[in-house]
């Protein structure tokens, strides 16, 4: 049976996920994914009536249980410096990362 996730498609997924693998890892992961997909295929056989809606959550909320929207009131964070302190590279209060190349238009 043909693999659902081909090597080419796998490369595309790796691209989407911003990963990088050596050939052995890539092959191992690709095979594992295809194995798991066999389980997922069960979903195809489920008889789904038109009327069955997608459910983003299982529980239902009503107007009493639904949390309210937030009031537009300023709530300053007391330790933004500690948040910034977690960054691997900081300069003058900015977080630093390498550039993404541009191409000039002729």
Instruction: State which of positions 11-50 bind other proteins (CB under 8 A).
Output: 13-14, 16-21, 29, 32-33, 35-44, 46, 48
CB of 87 to other proteins, least distance (A): 5
Q: Is 2 in the site for other proteins (CB under 8 A)?
A: no
Helix (H, G, I), strand (E, B) or coil at 90: strand
Tokens of residue 90, six digits: 């900081």
Residue 13 CB contacts under 8 Å (≥ 6 apart), including other chains:
5
CB of 50 to other proteins, least distance (A): 10
Q: At what angle do helices 7-16 and 23-40 cross, to 10 degrees?
A: 100
Q: Is 8 in the site for other proteins (CB under 8 A)?
A: no
**Is there a contact between 90 and 82 (Cβ–Cβ < 8 Å)?**
no
Tell me how many residues contact other proteins (CB under 8 A): 75
Helix (H, G, I), strand (E, B) or coil at 58: coil
Judged by CB under 8 A, the chain residues 44 through 103 that form the site for other proteins are 44, 46, 48, 52-61, 64-77, 79-80, 82-89, 91-103
CB of 31 to other proteins, least distance (A): 11
């Amino acid at each position: 049976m043909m693999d659902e996730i081909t090597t080419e498609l796998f490369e595309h997924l790796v691209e989407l996920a911003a990963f990088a693998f050596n050939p052995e890892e890539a092959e191992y992961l690709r095979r594992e994914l295809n194995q798991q997909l066999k389980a997922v295929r069960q979903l195809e056989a489920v008889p789904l009536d038109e009327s069955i809606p997608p459910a983003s959550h299982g529980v239902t909320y009503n107007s009493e249980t639904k949390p309210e929207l937030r009031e537009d009131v300023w709530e300053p964070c007391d330790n933004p410096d500690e948040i910034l302190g977690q960054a691997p590279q900081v300069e003058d209060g900015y977080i630093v990362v390498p550039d993404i190349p541009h191409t000039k238009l002729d």
